[in-house]
Amino acid sequence: MKKALITIAANTVALAIAVAIFDGIRVGLPGTSTGEDVLTLVLVGIVLGVINAVIAPLVKLLSLPFIIVTLGLFLLLVNAAMLWLTTELADLFDLAFRVDGFWTYVLGALVISLVVLAVRAVVDED
């Protein structure tokens, strides 16, 4: 339970930082309150956590030859694809989370990955 809460918190913080950095990543609708935006970020963080726990390992396993040949750079595209899937599922659940453009997906996934890595390094997961 503690690990799941840490994952949700790390994803939420990472998504918030990505939203702050990139104009192409937006949360909420015009006129929504900050509380609603934070709730949306938490729910999108949960969706991202589920995708990273269930789908991402399978995709990484299937794309392992590409990951090896590109010395790991293909993982950026895999993470971008997971962010794209997160936006699609968020849209399916009527969550106001949008990402515009391929490079925004790639750079947003890079920032999210680095922030989650930093948060997990700081927080003890025993």
Q: What is the 3-state secondary structure (H, E, C) of the chain?
A: CHHHHHHHHHHHHHHHHHHHHCCCEEECCCCCCHHHHHHHHHHHHHHHHHHHHHHHHHHHHHCHHHHHHCCCCHHHHHHHHHHHHHHHHHHHCCCCEEECCHHHHHHHHHHHHHHHHHHHHHCCCC
At a CB cut-off of 8 Å and minimum separation 6, what does 17 contact? 111, 112, 115
Average pLDDT over all residues of the chain = 93
Distance CA 9, CA 100 (A): 24
User: Could you tell me the pLDDT band of residue 4, with boundaries at 50, 70 and 90?
Assistant: confident
Residue 126 has pLDDT above 70, yes or no: no
Mean pLDDT, residues 13-35 taken together: 92
Residue 50 has pLDDT above 90, yes or no: yes
Mean pLDDT, residues 20-26 taken together: 95
Q: Report the pLDDT value the prediction gives residue 125, as an integer from 0 to 100.
A: 60
Asked whether the beta carbons of 106 and 18 are under 8 A apart, the reply is no
Q: In which domain, by residue range, is 59 found?
A: 2-122
The token pair that represents 1 in the structure block: 């339970």
Question: How many domains does the structure of the chain reveal?
Answer: 1
Residue 29 has pLDDT above 70, yes or no: yes
Q: Which pTM does this prediction carry?
A: 0.91
Mean pLDDT, residues 16-32 taken together: 92
